[in-house]
Amino acid sequence: MPVIPRIAAFHADMAQWRRDIHAHPELAFEEFRTSDLVAAKLAEFGVEVYRGLAETGVVGVLTGRGMSTRAIGLRADMDALPMQEANGFAHASRHPGRMHACGHDGHTVMLLGAARYLAETRDFDGTVHLIFQPAEEGKGGGRRMVEEGLFEKFPCDRVFGMHNWPDLPAGAIGVLSGAVMAAADQFDIEIAGHGAHGAMPHHGTDPVVVACHVVTALQTLVSRNTDPLDSAVVSVTKIHGGTAHNVIPAEVTISGTMRSFRPETRRRLEEGLGRVAGNVAAAFGATARLFFRPGYPATVNTGPEVDLSVRAASRVVDEANIVRDTPPSMAAEDFAYMLRERPGTYVWLGQGAADGCPLHSPHYDFNNDVLPIGASYWASLVETALPRAGGAN
């Protein structure tokens, strides 16, 4: 159950592509150089290339041997993060304030590697759509592609995604059924009191004190109002208010993030944010207004596609390296929008960061050693999902 030999043979090419993309990171909807590189490589491999979805998105279309009308989609994200890289190696970011700190450079290259192999062999019956998506990092590029007709223009029966995961050993593949990544929402709560002199608080209604009580009370939405067997997070991450040491402000704004897996939990927490904040503020003679901004939905894998992914992974890695009990993550992923439209699976590819360097760290770098493993998984998935005559689906 090794890496596909042909993919192993061009490992050095993949590593070079990856370092090049890493050195030239581009932010959401600005992936012009990256999408040009992707389109050029796909065309070089003999893949049909389509551009324009979600501004910088690229879709490659590859048809196998046979007459099947089945089709699947494989998705990789291309964007970088707005952060400063702290690495000193030769392929570090050449653009201040931009960095591939989440491994999207590796994701892009693994799908390119699979495209090269699949275009050479075409040992499958059906069509594979190679989806290179912009703007995963908070800007909803996956949503934009869906809204602009991704699955109408490129029909897919199933859709699959993959992300590197430093918490797993290098080359391990983590997969589980159900929710694997959380829904992520943002909120702002504006608390209005009455300003006063800092030495005469009795002349006003102090929104700073109210905000402190609201922050404390919001913790009960998870600790006392959510089933302990359910998972949710309500984190206040910003408090803004006041301009001087001796002035009690008239307003304070608290902001944060809310994470959940189940739609009913998500709805209940949103309602709870406004209710708790409003009632606590009223108890002090102040008012509170909730501004809630829904973000990415939960990323939910479907059972049959999980089984398919496991079968594909077992052709590439040992059974011991297929991890089915890894816990879901409270982080979020806009591949969720594609999974709301089509059944599919989102898997994690072990990065093996022995030094403990996590995603979104200024010291992060994708592990080139796992590039052929990820590309082989993609190729195996296509051949497993779209078998030629005599194969098993």
Give the pairing type, strands 71-77 and 299-301.
unpaired
What is the structure's pLDDT at 143? 98
Identify whether the C-beta of residue 43 lies closer than 8 Å to the C-beta of residue 49: yes
Handedness of CA 61, 64, 70, 74 (dihedral sign): negative
What is the structure's pLDDT at 390? 64
**Cα–Cα distance between 306 and 301 in angstroms, integer?**
7
Residues of the chain with pLDDT under 50: 392-393
Instruction: Dig out the tokens for 166 from the structure.
Output: 């430093």
What is the structure's pLDDT at 211? 98
What is the structure's pLDDT at 93? 98
The DSSP symbol for 172 reads -
- For 306-352, the pLDDT digits (tens) are 999 999 999 999 999 999 988 999 999 999 999 999 999 999 999 98
**Cα–Cα distance between 306 and 292 in angstroms, integer?**
33
Q: Which of 35, 144, 41 has its CA nearest to residue 80?
A: 35
pTM for the model stands at 0.94
What is the structure's pLDDT at 392? 47
54 phi and psi, to 5 degrees? 50, 40
Write out 115-147 in H/E/C secondary structure: HHHHHHHCCCCCEEEEEEECCCCCCCHHHHHHH
